[in-house]
Structure 1
Amino acid sequence: MRPTDVNRSPLFYVGDKYKLINEIKQYFPADIRHFVEPFVGGGSVYLNVDAEDYYLNDINKDVVGLHVMLNSYVGRETEFFDRVWEIVDAYGLSCSAREDKVPEALKAEFVKTYFAEYNREAFLRLRNDYNTAHRDNYLMLYVLLIYGFNRMIRFNSRGNYNLPVGNVDFNSNTVEALNSYFYVNASKQTSWHAIDFEDFLNGLNLSQRDLVYLDPPYLITFSEYNKLWNENSERRLLALLDNLSRRMIRFAISNVSHYKGKVNATFLEWSRQYNVHSIKSNYISYHDNTIKNFNEVLVTNF
């Protein structure tokens, strides 16, 4: 299946760049040899950028594991969906992409949350089986992701996936995103990594024909992803970008300079030496699914 005008990641990251990619991409150069993402996340950016090849990294090994698993089914899409349907049917989850099996009485009683009510027990059985016996099964994790709350990836201190059921199921939008992902990746040369951003970038042999795009955790906002980020991380990253610029390697970095009265003074001061482009953002917090008053920017050195 051919992709849509904008290819959305089938990982459905909250706050990813799916809705902003065309705005961001207008600042990218037309000629890119290596497209490099140290914080690839769901992958909505690389999916919509043309380059000769792609070096993709995320510190979250499960995010990378999901991408690697999905890429392994490129050219075997029918097999992928057959295996997903086996899991869905084995646990009795709803699947509106195939049929609407939620009873009308349940829809009437739980008008806005009927998917969660219908799938809760099945989801908990799947989650328990995954945590106790199938921790390395990324296909099972992907199904949990699709049916889980806000479609997030979260584990507790014991390493168990611990999100509750979400109010969504495996729908036609999910199938469309997956088909687009498979189609686009069939023609992309990707290399996947799950290490610290500094080790990742220092291990690449980059040139002036390459582009490094970065969407790091935002220092002054709150989300699960941002818990691993602090002032030292921010300064390490900015120093690394200065080094790239001295070597005439192109970069573009997304960040938030102002958020709910907070100011990222470190980033603001650093950005003055480069080109700053204001971006109409769609950042959404896991703890509060509303768009907040803040300023997102894209900073480039070209």
Structure 2
Amino acid sequence: MHKNNKNRAFLKWAGGKYSLLEHILPHLPHSPKLIEPFFGAGSVALNAEYENYQLNDINKDLVNLYKLIQGSSQAFIEELAPLFTKETNDSDFYYERREEFNSSDDKFRRALLFVYLNRHGYNGLCRYNRKGGFNVPFGRYVKPKMPDAEIRNFAARFQKAEFTNLDYVDVIKKAPDNSVIYCDPPYIPISKTASFTQYATNGFSLEAQENLANTVKEAVASRPITVVISNHDTPLSRKLYQGAKFKSFSARRFISQNAQNRKPVKELVAIFCNKNM
């Protein structure tokens, strides 16, 4: 299940797992199917070897993009190329494209613009306002990379994958026997300034964290599946995932903007396994 050369996602993604793969992949057992209820940019599935994949995300733009690439990656790359030039790496052009994205109903055009905005926007963020408008500011990078090789690799690897846009509870409850589920939900805040009030704007409150933990425990208790969850290593996450096997490690991410206050973040991998597997 391990590879010497890691596959990179073609999207930049806050909270992406590319740098943490060595801590996650060893805990994903062999199985006919890998299911990801919180797929994001997909670094884990891109580097885990399974016959079948169900890759789910609540973000409709993301799922639409993946389905289009799965069907015709070369045509997509050809149409994307004009958005990756010296002239397009410009704040006025960026904000015009962002406005176009927010007003467009064309699935193909929205998918192209989603990749452009992702690679040219600030810090790989994917954020919408309350009206559903994408509102990430211009990133000011020297030369954003056109991810054509990564898109081709993604399309080839997931040619037969099932991409879904469902609630995570439905995905977990309907998972077939003997499947492996990897959950990478929005993380529990660990800084004193972060709160679940702010956090809930991403649609994932404390109640949602508890619901995820309870849904996983019920699923594992009732049938032969394995569920692996990533989160910050906090007293709350250990309490929520009680009964799981824990693996803790330091991540190379930092939570403070003040360099003097920067400390490595502790990550937790919780492994729930049905005893019959």
Verify: 1:39 aligned to 2:9, yes or no.
no
Question: Which residue number corresponds to residue 101 of structure 2?
Answer: 130
| 1:289/1:153 CA distance change after superposition, 3 Å | farther
Say whether the 8 Å CA contact 1:69–1:139 is kept in structure 2: no
| 1:132/1:18 CA distance change after superposition, 3 Å | same
Say whether the 8 Å CA contact 1:218–1:226 is kept in structure 2: no
Match of 1:257 among 207, 210, 233: 233
Q: Could you tell me how far 1:80 is from its partner in structure 2?
A: 2.4
Q: Could you tell me how far 1:85 is from its partner in structure 2?
A: 2.1
Q: What TM-score results when the alignment is normalised by the length of structure 2?
A: 0.82
Question: Which residue number corresponds to residue 92 of structure 1?
Answer: 87
Verify: 1:277 aligned to 2:244, yes or no.
no
Within-5 A mapping of 1:1-302: 5-29=5-29, 31-74=30-73, 77=74, 79-88=75-84, 92-94=87-89, 119-133=90-104, 136=107, 137-168=110-141, 169-171=143-145, 174-186=147-159, 189-204=160-175, 206-207=176-177, 209-221=178-190, 227-246=202-221, 247-258=223-234, 263-264=235-236, 267-283=237-253, 288=257, 292-302=263-273
Say whether the 8 Å CA contact 1:275–1:299 is kept in structure 2: yes
Say whether the 8 Å CA contact 2:18–2:44 is kept in structure 1: yes
Say whether the 8 Å CA contact 1:13–1:42 is kept in structure 2: yes
SS at match of 2:233: strand
Q: For the residues of structure 1 that align with 2:269 and 2:55, how far apart are their CA atoms?
A: 19
Say whether the 8 Å CA contact 2:254–2:265 is kept in structure 1: no
Q: For the residues of structure 2 that align with 1:181 and 1:298, how far apart are their CA atoms?
A: 25
AA aligned to 2:69 is L
Higher relative contact order, chain-length normalized (CA < 8 Å, sep 6+): 1
- What is the percent sequence identity of the aligned residues? 23
The count of corresponding residues between Structure 1 and Structure 2 is: 259
AA aligned to 1:239 is N
Which runs of no fewer than 5 residues in structure 2 stay unpaired?
A: none
Deviation sequence 1:62-119 (CA, Å, 0-9, x none):
2222222322224xx2x22221123446x9314xxxxxxxxxxxxxxxxxxxxxxxx1
Which runs of no fewer than 5 residues in structure 1 stay unpaired?
A: 95-118
Q: For the residues of structure 2 that align with 1:167 and 1:18, how far apart are their CA atoms?
A: 23
Q: For the residues of structure 2 that align with 1:226 and 1:176, how far apart are their CA atoms?
A: 34
Q: Could you tell me how far 1:184 is from its partner in structure 2?
A: 2.4
Root-mean-square deviation (Å): 2.7
Q: What TM-score results when the alignment is normalised by the length of structure 1?
A: 0.76
